[in-house]
Structure formats: C-alpha cells, structure tokens
Amino acid sequence: MRAANTGSPPAPDRPLPRVVIGPRAGAAEWLEIWRYRDLLRTLAERDIRLRYRQTVLGVFWVILQPLASSIIFATIFGNLAKLPSDGVPYLPFVFAGLLPWNLFAGSTQRAGNSLVAHAGLVTKIYFPRAIIPLASVTGSLLDFLVAGMVMVALLLLTGIGVGWSILAVPALVLLILMLAVGTGLLFSGLSVYFRDFSYALPFLLQFWMYASPVVYASSLIPAKYHVLYAINPMVGVIEGFRWALVGGPFPAVALIESLAVSSVILLIGATVFKRIERSFADVI
C-alpha cells in the first residue's frame, strides 16, 4: 500500500549540531585548571598511593633516603674531605640543603615524565593537560613534609633549635614549586615528541645538584663570582633554607636572582607547553 499524502513537503535535512571540546584561548586556559581541581587532587593522591604501594616501609622511605644520603655526605665531605659548613654541624648543614633539593628534583623528575606515563588518559578524554605535571609536583609535597619533620628533630637533637626564621620556609617552598612547575612543564611537553628529554632529565638534575650548594657551602665560591653563581636559581633557595633552618646570613641578592630566573623558566615552560599541547593526543 502507498503511504497517505499529507500534502506537506518533506522536512529538509538539517545538519547535526557539532560541539568541539578543546582548550580555551589565552589566560582562560590556565583559569580552566581551577574547574578541574578535583581531578588535580585525585591524580596527586593516586601518585602518592602508587609510589608506596606494595612497599614494606611505605612512607618511611621518605625519611630513610635523605637521612642516609646526609650521613654519607657528612662522612665523605665533612669528615674526610673536611669541606667547611660555615660553623654548623655538617649533618644538619647538608640535610638543610637536601631538603629543598629533594623537593625540587623529585617534583621535576615526576612532572617531566608524567605525560608519557599517563598516555592512556591523555588520548581518551579532554582536560587541561597541564593538570598531569601539576599533580606530580603537588604529590611531592607529602615527602617534603615528612622530611621536614625529620629536619626539625635533627635541629633539636644537635642543639641548634628552631627559630622564627623557619616561618620563611613556606615562601621558599613556593619558589621551589614555581621552578619545578616551569621545568616540569617544559620537559613533559617536549618528552611527548622526543623521548630523549626523558632520558636527559636525570643527567641534568645530577649535574644541577653538584652545581648547587647542597653538599658544600657557597662560601667556597670566590666572592667575585657570587652574583654569576646565583643565576642558578637553586643557589638562592638552598641558601635561604639554610638561613631559615640553621642560621647564617640572609641571601637577599641570591633570592632575588632565584625569583627572577624561576619566573623566566616558568614563563618559558608554560608557553612551550601551551604551544604544543593541542597535538599531544595525536603524537603520544
């Protein structure tokens, strides 16, 4: 049977609505991270759980690693090489240097490899990709807090004590995070395209450590080179930590240089990351 003719013309074909999900332009891209703050927290918590899952000692590794390194450095550089520690017992002196360094190196290492490690997540759904390295940096704060309590105990045991200058530590931590985020964004983005950056990062951090006053005092560097030496942003941070924890002169010039260089590195890392972010899912 033929269908009844209603007398009305057939409805024209209408294109289906098309919704494109992607990163916003300009500063709105970074403000969008606030909308995904729950994802940031979830990824940071997941990073911490995976790091210590199926370990007998768990979070106590955070105590053992810097403490064992400090004892080794104190034995080799303090007792055998007789490196100066500016009148401070060498063990708390070197631990005060390892505390900020471990936060920076651990955050940068994890952030630099984070996108490749979360390739499955990047290719499946949309979210601001910067959340992944940011979560890796945030997850390192727990390690720092635990090691910080060991530092306080060490100060009390060695008779140095805890002064009001310790209140400057949160500001110094923010400076470390600024530098770690900038470096992590740069290496995580470039590692998507060239895995060489993932392999080069540990070597860079190892070189960076010995170019920083972690196991030695900045007083070993001739005074005429101090301004040039402080271009390394970790110099001001480490000397700032030592001032806040074990005493000594306030490194005003070094901290100003550290803030300036860290800001530049953060700007470069964020700019490069955003320029190449759109094709992460296709390349990774």
Tens of pLDDT along 178-201? 999 999 999 999 998 888 888 899
pLDDT of residue 196: 86
Average pLDDT, the chain: 84
Q: Is the pLDDT of residue 12 over 60?
A: no
Determine the pLDDT at residue 55. Answer: 66
State the pLDDT at residue 108: 94
Rounded distance between C-alpha atoms, residue 185 and residue 181, angstroms:
6
> Cα angle vertex 237, ends 93, 59, to 5°?
65
pLDDT at 1: 46
| Residue 8 clears pLDDT 80, i.e. is over it | no
Longest dimension (CA), the chain: 105
Buried b (16+ CB within 10 A) or exposed e, 177-198: bbbbbbbbbbbbbbbbeeeebb
pLDDT at 74 over 90: no
Per-residue pLDDT, averaged over 65-86, amounts to 81
DSSP state letter for 213? T
Q: Which of 26-35, 39-48, 204-213 comes out lowest in average pLDDT? A: 26-35
Q: Assess contact for 62 and 143: CB atoms under 8 A.
A: yes
Quick one: pLDDT at residue 72? Answer: 86
Q: For residue range 94-141, what is the model confidence (pLDDT) as tens digits?
A: 999 999 999 999 999 999 988 888 888 878 878 888 898 998 888 788
Pick the most confident of 12-16, 55-59, 247-251: 247-251
| Confidence (pLDDT) at 70 | 81
Q: Helix 90-112 and helix 61-73: axis angle, to 10°?
A: 130
Predicted local confidence at residue 263, as pLDDT: 96
Q: Is the pLDDT of residue 19 over 80?
A: no
* Model pLDDT, residue 102: 93
Cα 149 to the center of its chain, rounded Å: 20
Query: Per the structure block, which two tokens stand in for 132?
Result: 């992944």
Q: Which pLDDT score, from 0 to 100, does residue 238 have?
A: 96
Predicted local distance difference test score (pLDDT) of residue 59: 66
Question: How high is the pLDDT of residue 270?
Answer: 92
Residue the block writes with tokens 């924890």: 245
* Amino acid (1-letter code) at residue 98: L
Residues 168-176: what's their mean pLDDT?
A: 96
Q: Which of 140, 5, 153 is nearest to 92 (CA)?
A: 153
Q: What pLDDT is recorded for position 47? A: 81
Residues 134 and 204 sit within 8 Å (Cβ to Cβ):
no
How many residues does the structure list for the chain?
284
Lowest mean pLDDT among 77-81, 166-170, 220-224: 77-81
State if pTM tops 0.95.
no
